[in-house]
Amino acid sequence: MNKTVNQKAWFLVLPVLILVAFSAVIPLMTVVNYSVQDTFGQNEFFWAGLIWFEDMLASDRMWDALGRQLMFSGIILAIQAPLGIFVALNMPKSGIWSSVCLVLMSLPLLIPWNVVGTIWQIFGRADIGLLGYTLDALGINYNYTQDTLDAWVTLIVMDVWHWTSLVALLAFAGLKSIPDAYYQAAKIDQASRWKVFRYIELPKMTGVLTIAILLRFMDSFKIYTEPFVVTGGGPGNSTTLLSIDLVKMALGQFDLGPAAAFSIMYFLVILLVSWVFYTVMTNLDKQEG
Amino acid sequence: MAKITLDNLAHSYLPNPASEADFALKELNHDWEDGAAYALLGSSGCGKSTLLNIISGLLQPSQGRILFDGEDVTHAPTTERNIAQVFQFPVVYDTMTVQDNLAFPLRNRGRDEGYVAQRVQDIAHMIGMEGVLRRKAQGLTADAKQKISLGRGMVREDVNALLFDEPLTVIDPHMKWELRTQLKTLHRDFGHTMIYVTHDQTEALTFADKVVVMYDGRVVQIGTPEELFERPEHTFVGYFIGSPGMNVIPAQVQGNRAVVNGSDIPLGQAYRPPEGKVEIGVRPEYARLSQTEGLPVQVRRVEDVGRHKIIRADFFGQDINIIAGEDDHVSADMNRVTFDADHVNVYANDWRVQGEAA
Amino acid sequence: MTDMTASKVSSRPRGLLRINSRLVVMTLYLVFLMLPIYWLLNMSFKTNSEILSTFSLWPRDLTFANYVTILTDPAWYTGYINSIIYVTMNTVISLAVALPAAYAFSRYHFMGDKHLFFWLLTNRMAPPAVFALPFFQLYSSVGLFDTHIAVALAHTLFNVPLAVWILEGFMRGVPREIDETAYIDGYGFGRFFVKIFMPLIASGIGVAAFFCFMFSWVELLLSRTLTSVDAKPIAATMTRTVGASGVDWGVLAAAGVLTILPGALVIYFVRNFIAKGFALGRV
């Protein structure tokens, strides 16, 4: 569409601007404020320069959390992307079963995140949970509160359970938009199933897939509730991901300075990935239009 | 190249068809000659795409057989039938170059690269796309993509028939003419059996040796464009072909005269009294407006189309059209019309009745 | 006229194998998804003693007691009511401000429009953890702590950009000629927007509403941080139960099941739009 230049459009955007500014800018200013100040307590602050940032960059705590986070996000992406595509390729495209699949697959996406955590917390227990009980009966030593590996596996499986449907649904939407004529032509050209996937299905899914992967990366990067409910960040701090660590610092220990510096860094990473996302999205839109 | 035979072929999309109305394609017995160019003409929903898809193997007929050179291929998959199909909108593999697109069918069948390169070169030359072989197929125009589709269909030397399903629908009007000409040239040079589905009579009449007209799932007439024009076997053919189409007037027929509202119209042949709904059909080109001779008619409107004039008139309460030459004089006091007896056809229940020499 | 179904028939021998592998994959996946939920359901119909003493795949002594507890105990059911209140408020507010903004983005160029859009996007991506403490202080300072409106407003942080994004996508599909025709016909902007434009993007509004509902309903961190008693959401009620000794598993499970219900209902009603919304790739 041809957009005309019209500065009066700002009036239409004003409500959004005010609301989001209130929600975002003001708190962010607070955070920036705290990040460069220190306190004697009793709400008295003084300028502290960049010491919080220096501390943070030097501290193991931050780098460990970041490392864990990157590993977590990396692993779940490596599982969710191919699995999502695979499921999308197998979903029925029409008929009653298509609706059934869509509804059932969307269900995990709409469960409050703490309930997701609760479900898996229960599921994994040896005394009352199906998974825990079964593993125990098979003789496998499984305890997600005490064993680091078990905790990680549980969190990863939980996240895969929770979010794969999103990737699958997005990929499915891309697949569904492929006209039948392409499949018919491929038949006539005697293309193998793999070639059909590579030359017809994958190119058409690339757009939605990129968005799905970026979204999943960003959302997994800020995950808090689900792992917190299941492991609380433990055992020890082996599953303390970035958000969990930050909340511990800010609301738990009330270490405002370090928490603020941490927040800024966190936010910068998000900003970077957002920028990538935005660029990809506008390029895709340009291609389609 | 192959001769295609349809044997008792019919198709219904419903699992248990009860009556004829349930069949999208009614029973068909027909031979498509080897090397001929056919047009499959009809309005939307008449079954032409169904028939095309049965021929190509994308659809299994619910009844009857289809034979290629005498061999029953009814249950053979598309890949074994060696046909090529060009669809309504261009199907190209966007991520591949033009060259790879053309080579795709050959590579899938495991031909060696030397042979593939040669064929791709030949075909590219044929469709005039040698210069863009290295370009990615994605950014090309619609007509270029359709040419690639066409090329991909022809790159296999053993192709039995080329099927086209309304291929020029998305092409710009000025490119349509060029592509049509190219198709005709290809047919002349290589002699493939070609079946071209369209709802556009101009496309059909200019492309084909023989036109197959379909209506309501049935083949109503097969003939050269001339035969379709002069002797439409079905009122639909008369109405669909020609612009404007044939005038169809209810009448009673006795011997070599037709009676409309008590007035006599001479016929070129004699007819036994037909049964059912009786009508006569005469094309506007064979009707003449005059001042003195003929039956009463009331002129309502004259449209000057440039090359000729179309006169809309009222004939005993029926709307009819008359075509007059560009320079013919038309005036308000011309209120009589004659029909050229040799070109008046008689129809009973929409089907043409054959007469005897008068 | 599609031949997809027919093509399955034409390659019969291979086709049979194909259908089977699809069926297997989908069945396995759906079972994987439904099993934990089923387990929760299972537990919700058992008494605490049964849960802790025996292990069974279905309730031996089916009981509705857990649900009765939730539906009659104000400590529990107010949680649901609170959640529904702020989620609805949030959806309404988000849509109300997003509609004109999306319209502006879809039809006009204006100074800084690309930067504004990008900035909105970053808010969608913002980690709630970063905002937990600042929000706590902000809303406390304006006296809105522990109110529904606080949570509703807090959630607009990520829901408004999402709504703008989705709506803009749908609005782009409506040609400008419609706007111009309306103006020629004498419609003022307000009347045009409500009577003509909105019905055209009805499915877009539906999709945006669905996602606003979804993301606000599931979010825990901010909704718990900003509330204590009056506006406590069900999520908070549930998490405060866990950790205490002698956890009432049955009631907890029932509470969990009840939180899934609104989601399931909403999905069912918008199932036809889900595909379209996802197709825009804007979730």
Cβ atoms of residues B279 and B248 within 8 Å: yes
List, in order, residues 6 or more apart from C187 with CB less than 8 Å away: C195, C196
Partner-chain contact C10 B77, CB within 8 Å: yes
How confident is the model at residue C11, as a pLDDT?
Answer: 38
Which of B84, B94, B105 is nearest residue A203 as measured by Cβ atoms?
B94
Query: A287 pLDDT exceeds 80?
Result: no
Which of A12, A112, A176 is nearest residue C103 as measured by Cβ atoms?
A12
pLDDT digits (tens, 9 = 90+) for B136-195: 888 888 888 888 888 888 888 778 788 988 888 878 888 888 888 888 888 888 788 889
Direct distance between the N- and C-terminal alpha carbons of chain B, in angstroms, rounded to an integer: 45
Query: C14 pLDDT exceeds 60?
Result: no
Partner-chain contact A190 B105, CB within 8 Å: yes
The secondary structure of C157-203 as a DSSP string is: HHHHHHHHHHHHHHHHTS-HHHHHHHHHTT--HHHIIIIIIHHHTHH
- Chain C's closest residue to A160, CA to CA, is C33
The 8-class DSSP code of residue B28 comes to E
Q: How far apart are alpha carbons B212 and B216 in whole angstroms? A: 13
CA distance C192 to chain A (A): 15
Choose from B88, B93, B101, B109 for mutation: most chain A CBs within 10 A: B93
Choose from A187, A188, A192, A206 for mutation: most chain B CBs within 10 A: A188
Tell me whether C21 touches chain B (CB under 8 Å). no
The 8-class DSSP code of residue B231 comes to S
The sign one gets for the Cα dihedral B217, B223, B226, B231 is: negative
Query: B206 pLDDT exceeds 90?
Result: no
Partner-chain contact A110 C118, CB within 8 Å: no
pLDDT digits (tens, 9 = 90+) for A153-197: 999 999 999 999 988 988 887 887 788 888 888 888 888 889 999
Q: How far apart are alpha carbons A173 and C274 in whole angstroms? A: 9
List, in order, residues 6 or more apart from A28 with CB less than 8 Å away: A267, C134
Tell me whether B53 touches chain C (CB under 8 Å). yes
Partner-chain contact B108 A203, CB within 8 Å: no
Q: State the pTM of this model.
A: 0.77
How confident is the model at residue C87, as a pLDDT?
Answer: 92
List, in order, residues 6 or more apart from C221 with CB less than 8 Å away: A224, A225, A243, A247, C128, C129, C132
Q: What is the dihedral of CA B157, B160, B166, B169, to 10 degrees?
A: 0
Tell me whether B95 touches chain A (CB under 8 Å). yes
pLDDT digits (tens, 9 = 90+) for A85-127: 999 999 988 778 888 888 899 889 888 888 898 899 888 888 8
Tell me whether B56 touches chain A (CB under 8 Å). yes
pLDDT band at C8 (very low <50, low <70, confident <90, very high): very low
* DSSP H/E element including A77: helix A60-90
Span B220-231, average pLDDT: 87
For residue C6, which residues of chain B lie inside 8 Å, CB to CB? Answer: 53, 58-60
How confident is the model at residue C7, as a pLDDT?
Answer: 36
Tell me whether A183 touches chain B (CB under 8 Å). no
The sign one gets for the Cα dihedral C219, C222, C224, C229 is: negative
pLDDT band at A42 (very low <50, low <70, confident <90, very high): low
pLDDT digits (tens, 9 = 90+) for C189-246: 888 888 888 888 877 888 888 888 888 988 888 888 888 888 888 877 776 665 444 6
pLDDT band at B215 (very low <50, low <70, confident <90, very high): confident
Nearest to C226 by CA among A223, A226, A23, A258: A23
Measured at the CA of A29, the angle between CA A23 and CA A33, to 5 degrees, comes to 145
User: Around Cβ C188, how many Cβ atoms within 10 Å?
Assistant: 9
Span B192-220, average pLDDT: 87
Where are the alpha helices (H) located in B60-172, listed in sequence order? 78-81, 98-108, 113-127, 142-154
CA distance B29 to chain C (A): 22
pLDDT band at C17 (very low <50, low <70, confident <90, very high): low
Partner-chain contact B75 C10, CB within 8 Å: yes
Span C262-279, average pLDDT: 72
Q: How far apart are alpha carbons B97 and C102 in whole angstroms? A: 39
Give the CA distances from residue B349 to residues A151, B251, B278, C266, in Å, rounded to whole numbers and listed in that order: 81, 12, 6, 57
How confident is the model at residue C85, as a pLDDT?
Answer: 92
The 8-class DSSP code of residue B35 comes to T
For residue B104, which residues of chain A lie inside 8 Å, CB to CB? Answer: 189, 191
Query: B127 pLDDT exceeds 50?
Result: yes
Burial grade of C244 (CB within 10 A; 0-12, 13-18, 19 or more): exposed
β-pairing, B4-11 with B25-32?
Answer: antiparallel
Q: How far apart are alpha carbons C4 and C18 in whole angstroms? A: 14
For residue C9, which residues of chain B lie inside 8 Å, CB to CB? Answer: 60
Nearest to C164 by CA among C95, C259, C223, C264: C95
Cβ atoms of residues C137 and A31 within 8 Å: no
How confident is the model at residue C16, as a pLDDT?
Answer: 55
Q: How far apart are alpha carbons A187 and B78 in whole angstroms? A: 7
How confident is the model at residue C274, as a pLDDT?
Answer: 63
Direct distance between the N- and C-terminal alpha carbons of chain A, in angstroms, rounded to an integer: 9
Query: C5 pLDDT exceeds 70?
Result: no
Tell me whether B54 touches chain C (CB under 8 Å). no
**Neighbour subunits, A (≥3 Cβ pairs < 8 A):** B, C
C-alpha gyration radius of chain C: 24
List, in order, residues 6 or more apart from B58 with CB less than 8 Å away: A184, A187, B78, B85, C3, C6, C7, C10
Task: Record the tokens describing residue B349, joined without a space.
Answer: 């229940």
Q: Helices A96-106 and C249-279 meet at what angle, rounded to 10?
A: 120
DSSP bridge pairs for B296: B336
For residue C11, which residues of chain B lie inside 8 Å, CB to CB? Answer: 77
**Neighbour subunits, C (≥3 Cβ pairs < 8 A):** A, B
CA distance B153 to chain A (A): 8
Tell me whether C141 touches chain B (CB under 8 Å). no
For A199-202, which contacts have Cβ atoms below 8 Å and span 24 or more sequence positions? A199/B93, A199/B95, A199/B96, A200/B93, A201/A89, A201/A175
Tell me whether A182 touches chain B (CB under 8 Å). yes
pLDDT band at C1 (very low <50, low <70, confident <90, very high): very low
Q: What is the dihedral of CA C28, C31, C33, C37, to 10 degrees?
A: -170
CA distance A20 to chain C (A): 6
Span C60-88, average pLDDT: 86
Q: Cis omega before residue A15 (within 30°)?
A: no
DSSP bridge pairs for B41: B198, B213
List, in order, residues 6 or more apart from B18 with CB less than 8 Å away: none
pLDDT band at C10 (very low <50, low <70, confident <90, very high): very low
For residue B78, which residues of chain C lie inside 8 Å, CB to CB? Answer: 10
How confident is the model at residue C277, as a pLDDT?
Answer: 59
Q: Residues of chain A with pLDDT > 70: what percent?
A: 96
pLDDT digits (tens, 9 = 90+) for A169-178: 888 878 877 8
Cβ atoms of residues A211 and C96 within 8 Å: no
Residue of A255 and C83 predicted with greater confidence:
C83
pLDDT digits (tens, 9 = 90+) for A5-14: 888 888 888 8
How confident is the model at residue C122, as a pLDDT?
Answer: 82
Return mean pLDDT, chain B: 85
Measured at the CA of B87, the angle between CA B86 and CA B92, to 5 degrees, comes to 80
